[in-house]
Structure 1
Amino acid sequence: MQSDILMFAVNGTNTPSVSMPGRHLSELGMLEVTHLEKWVVDHPEVLGDQVKVVTTQYDKWSSDSGDLARERLDVLGLDSSGQLVVVELKRGADSRIHLQAITYAALVAGFNKETLADAHADYLNRLLAEPVTPAEARQLLEEHVDGTWDDDILTVPKIILLAEDFTAQTYTTVTWLSDLTPNLNIEMHTVNAFVWPESVPAQSCIVFRRLYPVADPTTRVLTPGIAAASADSVATKIAEKKRRIRSTHLLHESNAIPEGAEIELDLHTWINADLAAAVDAWVAEDPARGRATWISHRDRPLRWAAGSNEEESSTPTTLAKRIVLEATNTKVDAIPGADVWRYKGESLAAIAVRIE
C-alpha cells in the first residue's frame, strides 16, 4: 500500500527502529461499518475538536416517492459551535465519495432542532438500555453547544470525507468547490493501517489525519457586514463562534494563564441586567461562587471555587450557565463563556485575541 506516511516501531531507546508496512483495511479484514465507523464513534475527536455523534446510518428522509429511503448517511455529528458535521466513510478510495456527501449535506441542511433531537433519541435508544425521549436528546445536544444555537446554523453543515485514499476526481472537485463557494466547508481525512512488525498475532496501528485543507478553516477571519447572502452571514456566525470557542485552546497552548490562577465571573452586558443583579446578590453571600481556578485542560479549563474538589472541570460557558441556574433557577441558553470570565480584569476572549 502506498502512503506518504512513514511509520516506524521503536522498541527501547537503544535499539534501531523498524519500518511498519502499510496495509489496506480490506487486507486486514476491516469493514466500513463494523470497524471504521466504530472507530469514529468511539473517538469523534478524529473529526475535529468537540464533535458529538448525533446518529449513524441515518435513512429516515422525507420523500413522497420514497426514493431517498435507500440513502444512508454514515455519521452525523454536531460540533460545539452548533454546526452539523456530515461524515462519509469509505474503505479504500471511491471517486464518488464527494457526490454522496454533498447530497447528504443538502438533506441535513433542512433539519431543525426537533428533527435532530428525534434522530439523536433514536440513535441513543439503539445503544442504551434506558429509553431516551426526544426532549432529553435535545437537552444533551443543547448542552454540547457553546453559547447561542440558532436553527440557521444548521443550514450550513460541514462535510468530512474519510477514506484510505482519494482519486484525482475527488481532489479536483473538492478544491474547485472550495474555491468557488467559500461557505462550503469540505475536508478530506485519511485513515491508514500499518502492521506492527514481528508481532504474533499481527497487530495493526490505525492513523487518522486531515489531508485537506492544510490550514485550519476555523481560524479564518470573516468580516461581518459584507456578506450578500444568508449563507454568508451564517458562515460568519459559525466562524466567530468557533474563534471564541478556540480561545480556551489558544490559552492552553500558549500557557498565557498560569495553573491555579483565579478567574472571576462578570456577566454584565452579556445577560439580562436583572438576572445579572440576582447572580451578583447570590455571589455576594459567598464570593467563591463567582470564582474559578484555571487548570491545564484544553477544553475544560475551569474548576468552580464553590464546587467540590472531586468534580470535573468545566468549559467557561458550561460553568457560567450552571452558576446562573443555581443562583436564579433560570436556564440561559446563550452565554459566551470566553467573554464572561476574566483574568486580572481582562476577558479570556480578549487575552486569546491578543495572543493570536
Structure 2
Amino acid sequence: MTYHARFLSSRGEQAVSEDEARTRLLEHAGELDPDQLRQPRIVLVAGAFMPSTSATAVWLSEMGLDITLQRVQAYRTSEEKVIVTVSQLFPVPDVEDFTISPQRAEVAATQTRRRGKREQSTVVRLARAGTIPDGTVLTMQPVQIDTEAQESIKEWIAEDPSRGRAAWSNTARHPLRWEHDGQDYRPSAIAQTALREATGIERSLRGPSWWFTPEGQSLTEVAGETPQAGFDWGGLHTILNAMPAGRWTTYGALADVVGTAAQPLGGHVTSCPDCVNAFRVLDSSGRTRAGFRWTDETDQRTQQQALEADGVTFLGDRADVVQRLSADELSALAGERDPGPALRRL
C-alpha cells in the first residue's frame, strides 16, 4: 500500500497513510483475492500487428494465458471529425459474447468462471498424476476469508466432524466423497456449502486451497509440485478420437473435462492435426464456428454438412440438443468412468 499512498499524495492530496490508501483501494477494487491477482491478463492494443505477434499470442493462449489483441484505427470524416474504432482480432468472439447484461452480474460471472477453471485445472492435474492415493482422507480448513467467517465454519465443523472430512479419488470430475453425506463433489462445492451453512454468505471459492492432505499440504500446493511441462492435450485427443458418430459437444464442455478454458482449447483444436473429429465440436449455442477449417484443404464441406452426413440433426442453424454429449459421457470417453450401456451402444 506504500506505493498507492505515494501516488495519492503525488496528486496533490495531503499526506495519505497506508491504512487509508488500502481502504480506498478496497472500496474501488473490492476484495483483493491473491489467487486472482496471480492470474495475469494481457491486452495488446495497436494499429496493426505483425504475424509474429499474432502467432505468439495464439501460442501463449494455448499455454493457458488470457491474452487479447485489439486493433485501434482512426478515421477523419468530411466534416473534419475524427472517429476512433476498436476491434478485437484475437480471440474472435462468439455472438453470445456480445449479449448485454448488467455489469455487476457479468463481473461476478467472470470471477466464478475463472475460479472454476483454476479449480478444474488443479483437480485434473492431480487426478492424472495420481499424486494422492485413492481413499486418502482430506480435512477442510477455511482460508482466504475473514477471521470471523473462519471461526464460524470451524464451529460448524466441530458440531459434526464428518463435515470437515472427505476421501480423495483420482477422478477429475468429482474427486471428493464427503463423509458428511457420502456423495461425490468438487472441492469448491463443499467449501461453498460450508460457508453458506455456517455464515449465510454465498460466494465462489477456490476449493482446492481449503482441502489438506494428512501431511498438511493443500490440494493447490500439491498440484504446484506436480510436474507439468506445458498443457497436456492428451485427454482432449482421447475424447475427440472416441467421439461417436451422430453426437456433438462444445468447446466449453470439453474444456471443463480436460481442465483448461474454452479459448486456448479452441485455438489448439483449430491448429492441431491430432484433433480428429474436430468438426463435432460446436459453440455454446450449438452453432458451427465461422472460423472452422479442415486440416485437409481439399475438403470443401461446411461443418454443418459434415455433421448432418454424420447423423446430427439441425434445427435451423443449431444442432439438436438431444444429441449433445453430457459431461458424464465426455468424462467416460476420457476414460475417467464407465461409459454406461447407452454410450457403449453407440
Instruction: Decide: shared fold, TM above 0.5.
Output: no
| TM-score bin (small chain) | 0.3 to 0.5
More strand by percentage: 1
More helix by percentage: 2
TM-score (norm 2): 0.35
Q: Larger C-alpha radius of gyration, 1 or 2?
A: 2
